[in-house]
C-alpha cells in the first residue's frame, strides 16, 4: 500500500470501480443480502422520465438525491426495490415523429394508418435507454434497469385501465367541454402545468373595436382584445356589475361609446401622461352624456362583428351584454368580448347566463391545427395567428375599428414545438377533482416535505384551487381511454381489465394500444343488434405517471399483498416543477382510489441553471456536458457539489464547473491525503515495531490524548447528526456537516498529530495509539459517507478492510454472505452504517477544541497584521474569553496548551482569568438597532450615546444583571444589546484581534530580542533541511548529517544553531547541523542548495552518515574509515586493520567516531555542540 500515488485520479478510479461492480454484480448482491436478512421494506417510487432525450443536470440532481436516500435506507436495515421506469407515451414522442414525417394535421395520421404511426412511435421510445443506463451507472446510482417498467407495457396499461374504472365506478368521471391551453402544432390540448413551462415576451396586435347597440342609434360598446382572431367567434360582451360606466361623445371621432369610467385612457392615451394631461383638457376630447352601473347594461343587444354565427342553432341568446366580477378596470375598456370556445372565463360566464348549454356545440371555427374552418369564409384555411391582420382590415372596412396598437406581453408557447399556444374549448373526459378536493387537501397534510414551505405554500395553494382534471387527449400514442359507448352516448361501459374486455367482446388482446383496441366492438345490451365502440381519446400521460404506483406492479392483477403492504411509498423525489405535475396526479389518484396520500416523504429539488442564471439550453450551449464534467472530476465530486447546494432546498443553483473542482480540492484531495498519510505511517510503524497493525477499539477508547478524545467525540457526533438529519430527509444539513468534518480531520487532527503519527514523539505505543484513532475515524467516516460518495468510499474501504481480522473470512464467497461486517464484506455498500456510541460523545472535548481553533486562527491573523513569519517565535500569546467554561480554561491551560504553542510558534500562553480581564480588554455595548429601533424610536440616538459610554465594569454588570433600565423601559441584554470585547492594553509590543462576535480577544507580544530572532533563523534552517530531504526522496527514518557554509566573516547561522541545539536534535534524530569545514573528506553529499537564512545566503548540504576520523590520519586509514557503515560499528570499541603490511588498531573515541557531531563533542573542537 505504500505505493499509493501522491495524487489520485478520481475519475479513472471511479471507472475502475464501476467495472468492478459490474463484474462482481455488487448491486445485485447487496439486494440479495438484504432479502436474505429479511430487512424491512422501504418503498420508493421513481417517476418515469422520457427516454427520447439524453439525461441533463436536472435528471442527475434528482437521481443523486434518490440514490443517496435509497442507499442510506439500504445501509440502515431496509430492503429497497429500485426499478427504473420509462415514460413512453404522449406528446414528446408524437411531436418528434410528426417532425420526422412532416405531419401537420391529424388527417395525415389517419391516412397513413394509426397502426403504422404507433409503430413508428414505438421505434424511437427506447432510443436513448442505453445512454441513460451508461450515464446513470457512471453517476454511481444503483437502479435496476433489467427489471424496468415501461408505460407502454400491456401490464402497465391494464393497471391504468383498472385505475380509471375504479374512478368511473365511484362516479368521478364525466364528459364535458373545457377551454384548455392548446398546441396547434401538436394538435392537442396541454395541461396548465405544461402551458406554464415556456413563456416568452411577444408583440401582439391590441385593438379596440365597437359593437353598435341595437335600438340606440349611433351608440356602441367598445371592447379591447389582443386576440383579434377570436372576434369571428364572439357571441357576448361582459361588464362588471358594480363598475361605473359612461356614455361619452368622442368629439374628434364624432361617435358615442360606452366605456368604463376608469378606462377612458384607453380611448384617449394622453390621459396616461402625468406631465401632459390636465383635467381641463377633457372638454376638448369628450363629453359625458350618461352614467351607468354595469348591471344596468346587462341584457342590451348589440350588432355582431361578423355574421358567421347569426341565426345558427342555439344562437337565440347570442349578442347580448352579460356581467361577471372577473372583469377589471386595470386594463382594456372594462368591457370584455366573449368567445366561449377560446376563453375559460368566457365559457364559464356564457354558461352561467344561459347563452350556451352543456353538451351544446359551441361556435368554434378552428380545427385542431389552428386553421380556420369553412364557417369563417373570409379567412378559411388560414392559421389563427396569421389571420389577425386580415381580420383587422375587415373590421376597419366595417368602420368598427376604434384604435389599433401593439402590446408586448408574456405569452405561453408549446414546450415541445416552441409555437404560440391558443386557448380552445375541447370535448374532454374529466375526473371530478373538485368533488374530492377537501380529501386531497387533508391527505396532503399527512405527508412530510423537504422543504416544508413548498408543501404548505405552492402545493397547498394549487390543491385548494384544484379544478376538475381533463385526462383525455385527442392523440394516438397513449393508453386508450377504456370507454365503449353507443353513438348517442346513452350506453357507456368502462373496461377495467383485459379479461373483462374478452368477456364482453370475445376478443383477447396482448396489446392495448389504440390501433388494436379501436377495432374491437362490444354488443349492446340496451339495443341488441347494435354495438358499442371505444371513444377516440387516449389518456394524458400525466394520468399514466400518476398511476405508476399501481401500474408498475400490475396491481391489482399481481403483487396485491406486496403493494398494499408498501403503500403509501416511504419516499419520492423530483423537481419543483412537479408540484403541478407528478406530485399532484399521485395525490389525486391515491385519494380517489384509497383516500390516502401516495407517499409519506418527499424531497423537492430546485432548478439547475446555467452559470449566468439562465435556463440551460442545448442550443445556446451555456453549460458543460455532464459526462465531460464527470470524466474530469469524477461523479462523487458532481454528486457532492449538487447536494451541498441550495438546490436540495428547492432553490435554484447556478451551475459552476469550478464548484465541482472545488469539491475535489477542498474535500477529496485532503481526505485522500489523510488516508495515504495513515497508510504510510502505519507501514512505518509496522516496520519499526516488527508487528502487524491490528485495529483495536479498546485502544481507541483507552487513549487520554486530548486530540484523540476530541476527534473520536466529533466522529460520534457526526454519526449521530447524520442519522438524525437523514431520518428527516434534510440532505442540505448533512453535506455541510460532512464537509466540515473532513476539514476538522485533515486540517486539525492530522496536522496537530503529524509528528506523533510519524513516530517522532517518543514511544512506538504513542504512535500506534494515534494510528488506531485515525484508522477507526477513517473507517467510520468511509462507511458513513458511502451513500453520498459511493466511489471514493469504496476505494478507501477496499484498503482499510485488509487490516480487519475478519478479512480472512472473505474468501470462498464469504465476502458476499451474511452477517456483513467490515473486513469480511466485499463492498462498503454491503455494510450497515455505524451507530453512534453515546459513551464516546464528549461535548467538553469538542468545546475545548473549538476554543483552540479560534485561538490558533486568530493568532495567525495577528501575526499577519504585524508581518511576523510563523518561523519566527513570539514570546507569548494572551487570550481573553467572554464567560468561558471551567472545562475550556482547564483544557487550554493543560493538555491543549502545547498544541497552541506549537501551532503559533509561541513560548508562552496566558489565559486571562475573569477577575483580571479589565486589565486587558474593555467590554463595549451597542444597541441592537433591528429590535431597539422600533422599540425606542427617536430615543435610539440618546440610548446609543448612553450605552456606548459605559465603563467596562458597568457593561459587565449590565450583562450579569440581564439588562438595564432606560427612561422607564427595560432593555434586555440577551436580545437588545450587542456586546463585544476590545483589546485595551497599552504598549507598542502588543498586536491583537477579536472574533466578529466579540467573545474572544487574542493578543501577542511582538517583542523581537536576540533569542527570538535566533529561534526564527533555526526554524528557517530546519525548513531548508526538510526541503533538501524531500528533494532527495528520503523517508522519515533515513538518517543524514547536515553541514552548512556561511559567507566569509558571517556566523549568523552558527550562532542560531548553537542556541537551539536541542531543537535540531529532537527534529533530526540527534543530528545537529555543523559547519562544513568539519565534514570528513569522504562525506557523500546527497543534496545541496543555497538558502536564505536570517537575511544571508548559506549553503546547506545533507550527506550520507559517515564515520569521522581524527585529524592527520594516514590516507590508507582514511580510505578504510570511508568504507564503514556507521550503524555497523556503533557498538565496536576497537577496529584492527592492515595498512602497507602494518597492523593498526583504531579505538572508538580516540581514532574514530560514529559521526562528526560525536567527534566534535569528544574533542571539544566546537564548544556549543
Q: How far is CA 703 from the centre of its chain?
A: 39
Closest listed residue to residue 65, CA positions, set 417, 423, 572: 572
With beta carbons less than 8 A apart as the criterion, state whether 420 and 202 touch: yes
Q: How far is CA 1119 from the centre of its chain?
A: 71
Q: What is the DSSP letter of 635?
A: H
Q: What is the DSSP letter of 262?
A: G
Is the peptide bond preceding residue 340 cis, with omega within 30 degrees of 0?
A: no
- The CA angle 885-888-891, to the nearest 5 degrees, is 145
DSSP readout, 878-889? EEEESS--HHHH
Closest listed residue to residue 837, CA positions, set 739, 704, 700, 703: 700
Q: For the packed helices 764-785 and 669-689, what is the interaxial angle rounded to 10 degrees?
A: 140
All residues at 6 or more sequence positions from 155 whose CB lies less than 8 Å from its CB, including other chains: 551, 554, 557, 558
Q: How far is CA 554 from the centre of its chain?
A: 34
Beta-strand runs (E) in 1094-1157 = 1096-1103, 1108-1109, 1134-1139, 1142-1147, 1152-1153
With beta carbons less than 8 A apart as the criterion, state whether 539 and 479 touch: yes
All residues at 6 or more sequence positions from 219 whose CB lies less than 8 Å from its CB, including other chains: 212, 213, 247, 256, 257, 258
Give 954's Cβ-side CA count (13 Å radius).
10
End-to-end Cα, the chain, rounded Å:
40
Q: For the packed helices 91-101 and 114-125, what is the interaxial angle rounded to 10 degrees?
A: 110
Residues with active-site annotation: 48, 87, 542, 578, 582, 615, 618
CA dist list (Å): 462 to 140, 430, 515, 580, 639: 35, 18, 36, 7, 31
641 CB neighbour count, 10 Å cutoff: 26
Instruction: Please give the Cα distance from 877 to 869 (Å, whole number).
Output: 15
Closest listed residue to residue 475, CA positions, set 433, 428, 533: 428
With beta carbons less than 8 A apart as the criterion, state whether 72 and 147 touch: no
Burial-class residue 838 by CB neighbours within 10 Å (0-12, 13-18, 19+).
exposed
* Cell numbers that stand for 887 in this block: 472545562
Buried b (16+ CB within 10 A) or exposed e, 249-286: bbeeeebbbbbbebbbebbbeebeeeeeeeeeeeeebb
With beta carbons less than 8 A apart as the criterion, state whether 84 and 473 touch: no
Phi, psi of 346 (to 5 degrees): -55, -45
Q: Which long-range contacts (CB under 8 A, 24 or more apart) does 1035-1038 make?
A: 1035/684, 1036/684, 1036/758, 1036/759, 1036/760, 1037/684, 1037/687, 1037/688
Query: Of all helices (H) and strands (E), which one includes residue 978?
Result: strand 977-983
Q: Look at phi and psi of residue 1129 and say left if phi exceeds 0, alpha if psi is from -120 to 50, else beta.
A: alpha
- The CA angle 424-427-428, to the nearest 5 degrees, is 110
Instruction: Please give the Cα distance from 490 to 504 (Å, whole number).
Output: 18
Q: Residue 338: beta bridge partners?
A: 236
* Cell numbers that stand for 1151 in this block: 581514532
Amino acid at each position: 500500500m505504500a505505493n499509493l500515488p501522491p495524487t489520485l485520479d478520481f475519475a479513472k478510479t471511479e471507472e475502475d470501480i464501476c467495472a468492478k461492480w459490474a463484474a462482481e454484480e455488487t448491486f445485485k448482491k447487496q439486494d440479495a443480502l438484504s432479502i436474505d436478512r429479511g430487512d424491512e421494506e422501504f418503498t420508493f417510487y421513481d417517476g418515469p422520465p422520457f427516454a427520447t432525450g439524453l439525461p441533463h443536470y436536472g435528471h442527475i440532481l434528482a437521481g443523486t438525491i434518490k440514490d443517496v436516500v435509497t442507499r442510506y435506507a439500504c445501509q440502515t436495515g431496509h430492503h429497497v426495490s429500485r426499478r427504473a421506469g420509462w415514460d413512453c407515451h404522449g406528446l414528446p414522442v408524437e411531436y418528434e415523429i410528426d417532425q420526422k414525417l412532416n405531419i401537420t394535421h391529424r388527417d395525415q395520421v389517419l391516412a397513413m394508418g394509426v397502426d403504422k404511426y404507433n409503430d413508428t412511435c414505438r421505434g424511437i421510445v427506447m432510443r436513448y435507454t442505453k445512454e441513460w443506463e451508461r450515464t446513470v451507472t457512471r453517476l454511481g446510482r444503483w437502479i435496476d434497469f433489467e427489471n424496468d417498467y415501461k408505460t407502454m407495457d400491456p401490464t402497465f396499461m391494464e393497471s391504468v385501465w383498472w385505475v380509471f374504472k375504479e374512478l368511473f365506478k365511484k362516479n368521478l368521471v364525466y364528459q364535458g367541454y373545457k377551454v384548455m391551453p392548446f398546441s396547434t402544432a401538436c394538435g392537442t390540448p396541454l395541461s396548465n402545468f405544461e402551458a406554464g413551462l415556456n413563456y416568452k415576451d411577444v408583440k401582439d396586435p391590441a385593438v379596440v373595436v365597437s359593437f353598435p347597440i341595437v335600438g340606440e342609434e349611433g351608440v356602441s360598446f367598445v371592447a379591447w382584445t389582443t386576440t383579434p382572431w377570436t372576434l369571428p367567434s364572439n357571441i357576448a360582451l361582459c361588464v362588471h356589475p358594480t363598475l361605473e360606466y359612461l356614455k361619452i361623445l368622442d368629439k374628434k371621432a364624432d361617435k358615442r361609446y360606452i366605456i368604463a369610467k376608469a378606462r377612458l385612457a384607453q380611448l384617449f392615451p394622453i390621459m396616461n401622461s402625468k406631465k401632459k394631461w390636465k383635467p381641463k383638457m377633457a372638454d376638448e376630447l369628450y363629453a359625458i352624456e350618461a352614467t351607468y352601473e354595469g348591471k344596468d347594461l346587462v341584457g342590451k343587444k348589440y350588432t355582431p362583428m361578423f355574421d358567421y354565427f347569426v341565426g345558427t342553432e342555439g344562437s337565440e341568446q347570442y349578442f347580448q351584454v352579460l356581467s361577471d366580477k372577473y372583469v377589471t378596470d386595470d386594463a382594456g375598456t372594462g368591457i370584455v368580448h366573449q368567445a366561449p370556445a377560446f376563453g375559460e372565463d368566457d365559457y364559464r360566464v356564457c354558461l352561467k347566463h344561459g347563452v350556451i348549454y352543456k353538451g351544446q356545440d359551441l361556435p368554434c371555427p378552428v380545427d385542431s391545427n389552428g386553421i380556420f374552418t369553412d364557417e369563417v369564409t373570409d379567412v378559411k384555411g388560414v392559421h389563427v395567428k396569421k389571420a389577425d391582420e386580415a381580420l383587422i382590415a375587415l373590421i376597419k372596412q366595417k368602420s368598427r375599428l376604434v384604435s389599433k396598437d401593439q402590446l408586448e406581453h408574456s405569452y405561453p408557447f408549446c414546450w415541445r414545438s416552441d409555437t404560440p399556444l391558443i386557448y380552445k374549448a375541447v370535448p374532454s373526459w374529466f375526473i371530478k377533482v373538485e368533488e374530492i378536493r377537501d380529501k386531497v387537501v387533508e391527505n396532503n397534510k399527512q405527508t412530510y416535505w423537504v422543504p416544508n414551505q413548498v408543501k404548505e405554500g405552492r402545493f397547498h395553494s394549487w390543491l385548494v384551487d384544484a379544478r376538475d382534471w381533463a385526462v383525455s387527449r385527442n392523440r394516438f400514442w397513449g393508453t386508450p381511454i377504456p370507454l365503449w359507448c353507443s353513438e348517442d352516448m346513452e350506453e357507456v361501459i368502462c373496461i377495467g381489465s383485459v379479461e373483462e374486455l374478452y368477456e364482453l367482446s370475445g376478443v383477447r388482446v396482448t396489446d392495448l394500444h389504440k390501433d388494436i383496441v379501436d377495432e374491437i366492438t362490444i354488443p349492446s345490451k340496451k339495443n341488441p343488434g347494435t354495438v358499442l365502440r371505444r371513444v377516440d381519446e387516449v389518456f394524458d400521460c400525466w394520468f399514466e405517471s400518476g398511476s405508476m404506483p399501481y401500474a408498475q406492479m400490475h396491481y391489482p392483477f399481481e403483487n396485491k399483498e406486496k403493494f398494499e403492504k408498501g403503500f403509501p411509498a416511504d419516499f419520492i423525489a423530483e423537481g419543483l416543477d412537479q408540484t403541478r405535475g407528478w406530485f399532484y396526479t399521485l395525490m389525486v389518484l391515491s385519494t380517489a382510489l384509497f383516500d390516502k396520500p401516495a407517499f409519506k416523504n418527499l424531497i423537492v429539488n430546485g432548478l439547475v441553471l446555467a452559470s449566468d442564471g439562465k435556463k440551460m439550453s442545448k442550443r445556446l450551449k451555456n453549460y458543460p456536458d455532464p459526462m465531460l464534467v464527470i470524466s474530469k472530476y469524477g461523479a462523487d465530486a458532481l454528486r457532492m457539489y449538487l447536494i451541498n447546494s441550495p438546490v436540495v432546498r428547492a432553490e435554484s443553483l447556478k451551475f459552476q464547473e469550478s464548484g465541482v473542482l472545488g469539491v475535489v480540492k477542498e474535500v477529496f484531495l485532503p481526505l485522500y491525503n489523510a488516508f495515504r498519510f495513515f497508510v504510510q505511517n502505519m507501514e512505518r510503524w509496522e516496520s519499526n515495531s516488527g508487528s502487524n497493525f491490528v485495529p483495536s477499539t479498546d485502544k481507541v477508547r483507552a487513549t487520554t490524548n486530548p486530540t484523540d478524545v476530541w476527534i473520536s467525540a466529533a466522529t460520534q457526533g457526526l454519526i449521530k447528526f447524520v442519522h438524525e438529519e437523514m431520518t428527516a430527509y434534510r440532505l442540505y444539513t448533512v453535506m455541510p456537516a460532512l464537509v466540515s468534518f473532513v476539514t476538522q480531520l485533515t486540517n486539525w487532527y492530522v496536522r496537530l498529530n503529524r509528528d506523533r503519527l510519524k513516530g517522532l514523539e517518543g514511544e512506538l505505543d504513542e504512535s500506534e495509539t494515534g494510528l488506531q484513532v485515525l484508522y477507526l475515524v477513517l473507517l467510520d467516516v468511509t462507511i458513513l459517507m458511502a451513500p453520498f460518495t459511493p466511489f471514493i468510499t469504496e476505494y478507501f474501504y477496499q484498503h482499510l478492510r485488509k487490516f480487519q481480522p475478519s478479512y480472512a473470512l472473505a474468501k470462498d464467497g464469504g465476502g458476499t454472505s451474511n452477517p456483513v461486517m467490515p473486513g469480511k464484506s466485499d463492498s462498503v455498500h454491503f455494510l450497515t452504517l455505524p451507530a453512534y456510541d453515546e459513551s464516546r460523545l464528549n461535548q467538553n472535548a469538542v468545546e475545548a477544541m473549538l476554543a483552540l481553533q479560534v485561538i490558533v486562527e486568530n493568532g495567525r491573523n495577528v501575526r499577519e497584521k504585524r508581518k511576523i513569519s510563523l518561523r519566527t517565535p513570539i514570546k507569548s500569546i494572551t487570550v481573553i474569553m467572554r464567560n468561558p467554561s471551567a472545562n475550556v480554561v482547564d483544557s487550554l491551560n493543560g493538555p491543549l496548551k502545547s498544541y497552541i504553542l506549537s501551532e503559533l510558534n509561541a513560548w508562552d500562553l496566558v489565559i486571562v482569568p475573569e477577575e483580571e480581564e479589565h486589565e486587558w480588554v474593555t467590554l463595549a455595548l451597542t444597541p441592537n438597532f433591528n429590535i431597539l429601533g422600533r422599540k425606542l424610536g427617536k430615543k435610539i440616538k440618546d440610548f446609543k450615546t448612553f450605552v456606548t459610554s459605559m465603563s467596562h465594569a458597568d457593561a459587565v454588570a449590565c450583562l450579569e444583571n440581564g439588562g438595564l433600565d432606560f427612561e422607564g423601559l427595560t432593555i434586555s441584554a440577551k436580545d437588545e444589546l450587542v456586546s463585544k470585547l476590545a483589546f485595551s492594553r497599552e504598549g507598542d509590543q502588543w498586536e491583537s484581534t477579536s472574533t466578529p462576535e466579540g467573545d474572544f480577544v487574542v493578543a501577542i507580544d511582538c517583542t523581537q530580542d536576540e533569542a527570538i530572532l535566533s529561534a526564527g533563523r533555526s526554524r528557517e534552517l530546519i525548513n531548508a533541511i526538510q526541503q533538501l530531504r524531500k528533494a532527495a526522496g528520503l523517508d522519515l527514518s533515513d538518517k543524514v548529517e547536515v553541514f552548512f557554509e556561511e559567507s566569509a566573516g558571517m556566523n549568523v547561522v552558527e550562532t542560531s544553531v548553537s542556541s537551539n541545539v536541542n531543537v535540531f536534535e529532537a527534529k533530526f534524530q540527534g543530528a545537529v547541523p555543523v559547519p562544513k569545514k568539519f565534514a570528513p573528506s569522504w562525506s557523500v553529499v546527497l543534496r545541496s542548495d543555497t538558502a536564505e537564512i536570517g537575511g544571508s545566503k548559506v549553503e546547506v548540504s545533507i550527506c550520507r552518515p559517515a564515520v569521522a576520523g581524527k585529524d592527520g590520519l594516514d590516507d590508507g586509514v582514511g580510505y578504510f574509515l570511508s568504507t564503514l557503515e556507521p550503524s555497523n560499528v556503533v557498538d565496536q570499541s576497537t577496529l584492527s586493520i592492515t595498512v602497507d603490511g602494518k597492523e593498526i588498531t583504531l579505538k572508538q573515541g580516540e581514532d574514530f567516531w560514529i559521526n562528526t557531531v560525536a567527534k566534535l563533542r569528544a574533542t571539544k573542537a566546537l564548544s556549543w555542540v
